Structure 1
C-alpha cells in the first residue's frame, strides 16, 4: 500500500525515481507523482518541480518527459487513497503553501516537498492550527498537514524540522521530504510504516524507499530503518537517529531484490504467472528440509515448543484462511489447542492472555500493519513466545518475532495472493509436524510419510495445473453471474473461503463461503439456478455428509460445480459439473484444492475484462489500519 522512492545524487535522479515507482506498482495505487529540486542557471530558474497523475506510472513518465522535469534531489510516490478521493490535487508529493506579511497575505509556494505512507490520526487538530496561521490546504489528505507543519517549524535545517514535526504526529507514517533551500538533502522518518535506506554505489547517491524492490538494479546495499528512526541523506553520506534522537549505526545488508522477478515472461498477468510458479515455490520453501526438527524455526525453538500449551494465530485476509486451515492440522495432528484471530480485530477486544501460548503471525509482506499491531498487543499482554510464517526475511515481522519460518515464494506482485498462500500452508504444516514431535505425537513412520507427501507436492501441483482447460469452461459460466456460493467441510472450509475471496477480489462477483452443513441454517434461501455453488469435495470422512448438502442444492434448482477426488463417485450430470482432481492427498489436500479455485477466479476475471493484477480499491501491502 503506497510506495516511496527518494534520492540525492550528483546526476539527474528522475529516471531512477520513476523506475522505482514502476517496481512498486504491485503494491496497488490510484495516483502517482514525482517532485524534484531543479537546479537552473539562476534562482529564477531553480526550485520545486512536480508532476502528478491519476493514471499509471507510464503516463507519469510521459508527463515528466514532456515537462522536462530533471533534478538531482527528488521524491516520488504511488498513493492508495485513504483521506480524499483519487484525484490529482490529492496525489503526492505535496508542497507547502502559506501566507505571510512578506507576500501581503497572498498565498506563496512553500519551501518543502513531501510524500507519506500511513495515517495521521490527529490531522484535523493540526489542520485547524495551521489554517489559523495562514496555511492554505489544497487537498483533503492528512499528508498535507505534515508538509505545512514542517514548513511552519523550518528554521534553516530540514532535519531539525522533521524531528520537531514527528514529535507532534499521532499515527503511522513513513515520510520522505526535501527543502528547496537545502539542495542535495533528503530526510525521512518511520513509525508504523516500513522505510529503508539504500546506500548508492556511484554518483554519491543515497536513497530512501518503502521497499527494497524499488531499488533493484540500483543498489543492493540496504539499511532497514527501525521503528522511530529518522534519516538524513546527503551526497555520499547519511545519518540515522533513533526515536530518542540518539545517533545510531544500523547494519548495511546486501539484499538481492531481483528486478527480473517483476517480468511477466510468457504470461498475460502476474497472477497467472504466480499461480503457475507454485510448484517451484513449494519446492523452494521445502528445500533443505530433510527431517522434522524444531530448529527449522530458529535457535531456541526446541525450548519454546516444550514450554507452550496452546497456539494463537494472528493474520488478515488470505493469510487468515491459511491460519484457519492450520488450526485443523494443529489440533488433529499435534493435539494442541489453537485459536485463530483476525489480526485487525484482536487488539480491540478484551482477551484472556496465556503466557504459555505460542503466538503465530502469518503475513506475506511481513509489514502488514494490523498483524504487526496485533503481535505487539499480544506481547504487551505477556505472551512473549512468538513465531512468524512470512515471505520476506528482512521484514519487520521477522525481526520482531522470536522464531520464524521464511517461505520462499519469491516476489508476489498480483494483488490477489496465490503462491504466498500455498507456501504459507507448507510452512504451517511443517510447524504442525514440529509441534507434534515436541509433544510426542509424531512417530518415525508418520514423519517419513508426511515428508514423502510434502516432497511430492510440486509434481502433484503440476498435475492440478493441467486441469486449466476444464476450469476455463467453468469460468465462461461464472463470467455471466453476479453471485456465487462456495461450500466446504472441515479442513476444506477455509479453502472454500479462500476461493470466494479470490473471486470477489478480481472479478467483482459477490461470493460467500459456508461450511456446507450450514446451508439449511439460512444460505439455502439464496440458492437458485442463477447462483452457482462451488463445492470442494475431497474423499475424506465428511464426504457422505457433503453429498447430502449437495443434494439440498440440487433439490432447490441450484447448479453445482464440484472439485472432486477421483474416488468420490460424484459424476457430472444435469445441474452438476465435476472436475476430477488427479489424486487424493490426505492432510495436504488443501494445497491442491485451492489451485483450481485460483484459476477459476483468474479466468472469470479475464472473461469479464477486469484488471486482474490491480483490482479496484485494493492494495498489495496493507501498511495502514
Structure 2
C-alpha cells in the first residue's frame, strides 16, 4: 500500500509533494522520501519513520526544483531505513515504485555483472538501474523506459524522473493503480486521486498495462503494446463519491480492482522475496509452543478463517477450530491453557467477535487480532495485532479486505510451521515465491472482467445457485455464495463438493447454475467427478480452473474459465476474485444497489 505522488509544477514542488504524501498516510508506511531536479541533477531527501521526520529534514536541508516525485514505503526485503527508502536513483534517473518486481534478483545479477553497483536491498533499485543501463547506451528516457518495462515481471506502479529533463516524468501501471492530474501548465501523478485533491479537479486513470509520458502541457499515454491511446479526463468534485470510485461505476468494483495493490502491500509487510522467507511481527507469545488454535470471526472473515484452518493444520500440524463469533461463547467451550485464539474483523469493531475475544482472554488464551483498522477496539484489547493493508473499504460486500486477510493468514501459517519445525526451508521458499506472484496473477485475471460479465448474464435469471469446492476451495465456494446473496438477492448455497450426493444433487436441473471452484490440486479429480454428475443431470456448470484443469474436464460445462496457473497453496486467494466479479456482474444485470445492498451494514457493532 505504498503511496506515490509526482508533480511537474511552476514553483518548487517539495512542499506539495509532502502534502500529497500526507493525504496517503492512511495506506500505512515506515519511511518516506522525495526527489527533485535541481540545475538538471537529481536531489533526494529520505527519512525513516513518519512524514514528520522527512519534513524536519527538508527544513534543515531544503530542496528546490519544479519537478519531483515522492513516496511512502512499507518495508519489504530490507529494513525500514534511509538507505532502502524511495526514491531510488542513479545519476541519470530516480524511481518510486509500488508493488513487487518478481524477477528483480535476475535483473540485479545481470546488471551487477555489467558493472552496476546496487546501494539498497530493495527490488525497486533494479528498475532504476535497468533504466540507467539503457540510458547509458544512448537511448532516450522514453525508449529506455519502454525497453525496461518489457523486462519487468510483477504488479507495479512507477513514477520516474530523469536528470537533464525538467519537463518530463514517466508513469507506468501494471496491477497497481495510478491517477494522472491535469493542471494549467502543470501535471500531477498519484497512487489515487486523494493525493491530488487540492491540486486539480481534472483526473484520468491509467488502465492496466498503460504507461505515460508527462510534460507540463499534458500526457501521452501508451498501452502495453506501445500504441498511443486516450483515457478519459474527468472533471470531478473531490468531496463527492466519484473521486472515491475512480473510473469505476461502484466502490465494490473499484475495490475488486485494487486487489493487486493491496495484496502486494500486505505481503510486503511480512514477505522477504529476496530470501524467500516470512518474517512475522514480534509477538508476546511463542508460536512454537502453542498447542491449539481457535479462529473466531463472522461472515466473510469467517470464511477467511476457514481457509486458514486448512493451511495451518497442513503446514504447522496444529489442530484448528473455526467458530462463528455469534455462536462461540454461548457454547461455553472449555479452553486449555496455552491455546491461541485469532479474531478476524475488517473493522475491528464487530460486536460478536469482540465479545468472543473477551471470553477467550478471561479463559487464559493468547489473543491475536487480524484487523484492517489498527486503532479499533479488537486491536486494542488483543495481546497482539496483525494488520491487513486493504485501505478504506466502502462497499458493504467485502472484497479486498477478504483477500488481504487470506494473505496475512497464509503468512501466519508459514510462520507457525517454521516456528514448530514442521516445514523445511525449501518448502517455505516455494510458498513465498508463490505468494510473491499472486498480485501479478490477480492483475492478469482482472483484465478478463468482460468475460465474467458475459457469464453473469446467464446466471442473473436464476432463482437458486449452488457453489462447490473441495479442500481450501470449499470456503471460497461458501464465500462466493455469500457474495451472490448479499448483492444480487439470489438464493445461493456453498457446499463441499463431496457432499453433493448427500442432498444437494436433488436440486440439480437445467435452471440451477452450479459454480465450481476447481484448481488443479490433489483433489482435482474428485471435484471433476462431481462435475460429471451435475452435467449428467442437466445442470448448468460454470467451471473455474486453470488451463490444464479446463482441458482435462471430460464433458464441456455450460461455461468455463481458465485462471492463471498458481501453486495450489495460494489458489484460494486467486480464486476469490472470479466469485467476487461474478456476483458483481449478476447484481448489475439485476439492477440492485451494489454498494449498499438492502438490510446490510458494513460493520455489525451490535449483537
- Give yes or no for the alignment of 1:618 onto 2:600: yes
Equivalent residue of 1:263, what SS? helix
The answer for the alignment partner of 1:208 in structure 2 is none
Shift of residue 585, structure 1, vs aligned partner = 2.7
Equivalent residue of 2:539, what SS? coil
- Give the root-mean-square deviation of aligned CA atoms: 2.2
| Contact kept? 2:271, 2:278, Cα under 8 Å | no
Query: Following the alignment from structure 1 to structure 2, what is the Cα–Cα distance between the partners of residues 552 and 578?
Result: 16
Query: Following the alignment from structure 1 to structure 2, what is the Cα–Cα distance between the partners of residues 400 and 293?
Result: 29
| Contact kept? 1:572, 1:578, Cα under 8 Å | no
| Contact kept? 2:277, 2:429, Cα under 8 Å | no
Query: Following the alignment from structure 1 to structure 2, what is the Cα–Cα distance between the partners of residues 290 and 368?
Result: 28
The answer for the alignment partner of 1:298 in structure 2 is 282
| Contact kept? 1:387, 1:402, Cα under 8 Å | yes
Q: TM-score, normalised by structure 2?
A: 0.58
| Contact kept? 1:467, 1:596, Cα under 8 Å | no
Query: Following the alignment from structure 1 to structure 2, what is the Cα–Cα distance between the partners of residues 286 and 528?
Result: 42
The answer for the alignment partner of 1:336 in structure 2 is 318
Shift of residue 288, structure 1, vs aligned partner = 3.9
Alignment of 1:173-192 (within 5 A): none
The answer for the alignment partner of 1:381 in structure 2 is 363
- Give yes or no for the alignment of 1:455 onto 2:439: no
The answer for the alignment partner of 1:428 in structure 2 is 409
Shift of residue 617, structure 1, vs aligned partner = 0.3
| Contact kept? 2:278, 2:414, Cα under 8 Å | no
Q: Which of 401, 409, 414 is the equivalent residue of 2:395?
A: 414
Deviations 1:358-410 (A, max 9, x none): 10001100000010001111112222x11111111111111111111111000
Equivalent residue of 1:371, what SS? helix
Query: Based on CA coordinates, which of the two structures has the bigger radius of gyration?
Result: 1
Deviations 1:167-194 (A, max 9, x none): xxxxxxxxxxxxxxxxxxxxxxxxxxxx
Shift of residue 482, structure 1, vs aligned partner = 1.3
Shift of residue 498, structure 1, vs aligned partner = 0.3
Deviations 1:188-209 (A, max 9, x none): xxxxxxxxxxxxxxxxxxxxxx
Query: Following the alignment from structure 1 to structure 2, what is the Cα–Cα distance between the partners of residues 566 and 314?
Result: 35
| Contact kept? 1:475, 1:600, Cα under 8 Å | yes
Q: TM-score, normalised by structure 1?
A: 0.57
Q: Which of 253, 256, 260 is the equivalent residue of 1:272?
A: 253
The answer for the alignment partner of 2:344 in structure 1 is 362
Query: Following the alignment from structure 1 to structure 2, what is the Cα–Cα distance between the partners of residues 316 and 434?
Result: 24
Q: CA 1:444–1:282 in 2, change beyond 3 Å: closer, same or farther? A: same
The answer for the alignment partner of 2:302 in structure 1 is 320
- Structure 1 regions of 5+ residues with no counterpart? 1-212, 218-257
Alignment of 1:40-79 (within 5 A): none
Query: Following the alignment from structure 2 to structure 1, what is the Cα–Cα distance between the partners of residues 596 and 271?
Result: 39
Equivalent residue of 1:505, what SS? helix
Query: Following the alignment from structure 1 to structure 2, what is the Cα–Cα distance between the partners of residues 550 and 377?
Result: 43
Equivalent residue of 2:313, what SS? helix
How many residues are matched?
368
Which segments of structure 1 move beyond 3 Å, counting only runs of 4 or more?
A: 258-262, 290-295, 570-575
The answer for the alignment partner of 1:74 in structure 2 is none
Equivalent residue of 1:321, what SS? helix
Query: Following the alignment from structure 2 to structure 1, what is the Cα–Cα distance between the partners of residues 513 and 469?
Result: 14
- Structure 2 regions of 5+ residues with no counterpart? 1-193, 199-238
| Contact kept? 1:566, 1:584, Cα under 8 Å | no
Shift of residue 574, structure 1, vs aligned partner = 5.8
Shift of residue 573, structure 1, vs aligned partner = 6.4
Alignment of 1:193-592 (within 5 A): 263-291=244-272, 296-300=280-284, 303-383=285-365, 385-568=366-549, 569-570=551-552, 575-592=557-574
Shift of residue 261, structure 1, vs aligned partner = 11
Equivalent residue of 1:490, what SS? coil
Shift of residue 299, structure 1, vs aligned partner = 4.0
Query: Following the alignment from structure 1 to structure 2, what is the Cα–Cα distance between the partners of residues 293 and 530?
Result: 48
| Contact kept? 1:415, 1:613, Cα under 8 Å | yes
Query: Following the alignment from structure 2 to structure 1, what is the Cα–Cα distance between the partners of residues 584 and 552?
Result: 25
Shift of residue 467, structure 1, vs aligned partner = 2.3
The answer for the alignment partner of 2:58 in structure 1 is none
